[in-house]
């Protein structure tokens, strides 16, 4: 089921959850694996609030160096179930009769599970704004009572801090609804999630489904307290839904799978869930035969790993081809630009050569002009000298008198 980003029924689409849900809209899990790494940053902000935050963060950040066990398990999760986990609609998608329930693995073997909660009789829906307000108040009242007497659900100050963080996350939900102007009466299809693990999923999953505390022996105290407050304070019957998410493939995967699913579910008590300890602490070991059965089951009998792996392989191939095309285009333009620069430099050199020749010609022309001017002046002097000599010859030969020569000189001066 494709969910809109934020509606009256799904008001808690924010932060890492929203980023991961948008990444899931891509054809493969590649973008999701990138968005998942952002969860490590969120964990670093709460190192002092909950135990084990640094451990969980390092498992996410070190996945590549550790051989990608987190990425491998990510590709084992069915796509519809993945969307339910990220969106926080695990209970609704499993109970709601109008749409098919997401495919899940069997409860046989070791692995990690996720739990959501609905209200009985609401076809998978959870609480509305006013009921969430009552639940937050009930959790806060329980915290106040801790000062007078330790209780089953809050045994020490560390547990008190975790319950306070969960109550504050409920308040944050209410503030988001107020801010966005969403309905306060419509029931939500999102609920807080809890992630757990076990060497036998079939044995440990039922320990999270009781509403009166009778069947909550090994559950997170925030989860148990929430179910009991819904029952006692709100007078409603909670309907817990627990689904297997992934089976472990080798020893060491139990811790990694818990880190993975907790990140996908945004299920820490300072996010949108109830988990109170950093994931990845377990060092449990499954029997060899159990691991072999899980590999055969997930890789051979179920189609999800192969489908997800092929989709990511195609995506990576497409991206690789795109990168190659980019480099090819880059090289093409670089070569073309280089040729253009070389042509431009050749033209500049030619212009410089032509400029030098022109400058030399101009210098030669100026020099010749000066020579011609001097030659002209010399010729003018020679003509005047010749004219004076002719006058002298005319006088000496008696061809003209002095008066006539004087008149001729005046006439020559006028002509000049």
- Assess if residue 8 is contained within a domain: no
Same domain assignment for residues 66 and 142:
yes
Q: How high is the pLDDT of residue 170?
A: 93
Residue 225 in contact with residue 159, Cβ under 8 Å? no
Instruction: Tell me the mean pLDDT in the region 404-408.
Output: 63
Question: Is residue 275 predicted with pLDDT exceeding 80?
Answer: yes
Residues 241 and 206 in one domain: yes
What pLDDT sits at residue 260? 94
CA distance 25 to 86: 12
Considering only residues 167 and 378, tell me which one the structure prediction assigns the higher pLDDT.
167
> Which residues span the domain enclosing 283?
15-302
Q: Is 66 helix (H, G, I), strand (E, B) or coil?
A: coil
| Angle between helix 402-415 and 304-396 (nearest 10) | 170
Q: What is the pLDDT of residue 151?
A: 74
How many domains does the structure of the chain reveal? 2
Same-domain pairing of 62 and 125? yes
85, part of any domain: yes
Where does residue 46 rank: exposed (0-12), middle (13-18), buried (19+ CB within 10 A)?
middle
In our burial notation (b when 16+ CB lie closer than 10 A, e otherwise), range 384-400 reads eeeeeeebeeeeeeeee
| pLDDT exceeds 90 at position 168 | yes
Strand segments, DSSP code E, in 154-287 are 194-198, 238-247
Could you tell me if residue 114 is inside a domain? yes
257 and 335 in a single domain? The answer is no
Whether residue 290 is found in the same domain as residue 324: no
385: in domain: yes
Residue-level pLDDT at 330: 54
Residues 25 and 87 reside in one and the same domain: yes
Instruction: Give the global pTM.
Output: 0.75
Q: Is residue 50 part of a domain?
A: yes
Same domain, 226 and 289: yes
274/185 same-domain check: yes
Q: Please state, for a pLDDT cut of 90, what percent of the chain lies above it.
A: 34
Res 328: pLDDT: 53
DSSP string for 233-244: TS---EEEEEEE
* Spatial separation of the C-alpha atoms in residues 116 and 267, rounded to whole Å: 10
**Which one is predicted more confidently, 356 or 44?**
44
> Which of 27-36, 147-156, 234-243, 349-358 has the largest mean confidence?
234-243
Kind and range of the H or E element at 394?
helix 304-396
Whether 260 and 403 map to the same domain: the answer is no
Residue 126, in any domain of the structure: yes
From CA 43, how far away is CA 25, in angstroms rounded? 25
Is the predicted pLDDT of residue 415 greater than 50, yes or no?
no
Would residue 259 count as lying in a domain?
Answer: yes
Of 302, 328, 353, the one marking the end of a domain is 302
Model confidence at 232, pLDDT cuts 50, 70, 90, reads: very high
Question: Residue 14: pLDDT above 80?
Answer: no
* Domain boundary residue, one of 274, 302, 330: 302
| Mean pLDDT computed over every residue of the chain | 83
String of DSSP letters for 19-37: HHHHHHTSSSSHHHHHHHT
Q: How confident is the model at residue 416 (pLDDT cuts 50, 70, 90)?
A: low
* Last residue within a domain, chosen from 302, 336, 364: 302
Same domain, 108 and 169: yes
Residues 324 and 295 in one domain: no
Does residue 360 share a domain with residue 217? no
């Amino acid at each position: 089921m494709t969910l809109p980003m934020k509606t009256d029924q799904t008001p808690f689409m924010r932060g890492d959850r929203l980023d991961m849900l948008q990444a899931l809209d891509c054809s493969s899990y590649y973008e999701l694996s990138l968005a998942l790494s952002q969860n490590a940053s969120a964990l670093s902000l709460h190192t002092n609030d909950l135990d084990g935050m640094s451990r969980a963060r390092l498992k996410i950040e070190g996945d590549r160096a550790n051989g990608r066990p987190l990425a491998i398990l990510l590709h084992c999760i069915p796509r519809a179930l993945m969307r339910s986990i990220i969106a926080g609609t695990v209970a609704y998608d499993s109970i709601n009769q109008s749409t098919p329930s997401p495919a899940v693995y069997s409860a046989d073997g070791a692995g990690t599970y996720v739990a959501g909660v609905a209200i009985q009789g609401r076809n998978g829906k959870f609480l509305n704004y006013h009921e969430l307000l009552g639940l937050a108040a009930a959790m806060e009242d329980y915290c106040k009572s801790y000062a007078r007497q330790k209780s089953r659900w809050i045994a020490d100050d560390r547990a008190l801090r975790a319950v306070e963080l969960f109550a504050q996350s409920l308040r944050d939900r209410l503030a988001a609804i107020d801010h966005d102007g969403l309905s306060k009466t419509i029931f939500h299809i999102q609920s807080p999630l809890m992630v757990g693990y076990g060497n036998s999923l079939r044995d440990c999953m039922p320990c999270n489904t009781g509403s009166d505390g009778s069947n909550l022996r090994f559950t997170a105290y925030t989860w148990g307290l929430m179910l009991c407050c819904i029952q006692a304070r709100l007078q409603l019957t909670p309907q817990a839904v627990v689904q297997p998410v992934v089976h472990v493939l080798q020893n060491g995967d139990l811790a990694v799978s818990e880190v993975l699913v907790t990140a996908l579910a945004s299920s820490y008590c300072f996010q949108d869930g109830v988990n109170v300890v950093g994931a990845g602490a377990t060092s449990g070991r499954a029997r060899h035969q159990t691991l072999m059965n899980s590999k055969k089951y997930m890789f051979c009998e179920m189609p999800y790993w192969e489908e997800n792996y092929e989709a990511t392989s195609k995506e990576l191939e497409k991206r690789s081809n795109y990168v190659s095309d980019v480099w090819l285009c880059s090289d093409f333009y670089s070569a073309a630009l280089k040729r253009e620069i070389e042509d431009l430099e050749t033209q500049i050199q030619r212009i410089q050569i032509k400029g030098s020749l022109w400058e030399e010609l101009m210098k030669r022309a100026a020099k010749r002009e000066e020579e011609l001017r001097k030659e002209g002046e010399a010729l003018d002097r020679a003509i005047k000298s010749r004219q004076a000599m002719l006058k002298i010859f005319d006088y000496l030969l008696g061809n003209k008198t002095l008066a006539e020569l004087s008149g001729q000189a005046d006439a020559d001066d006028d002509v000049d």
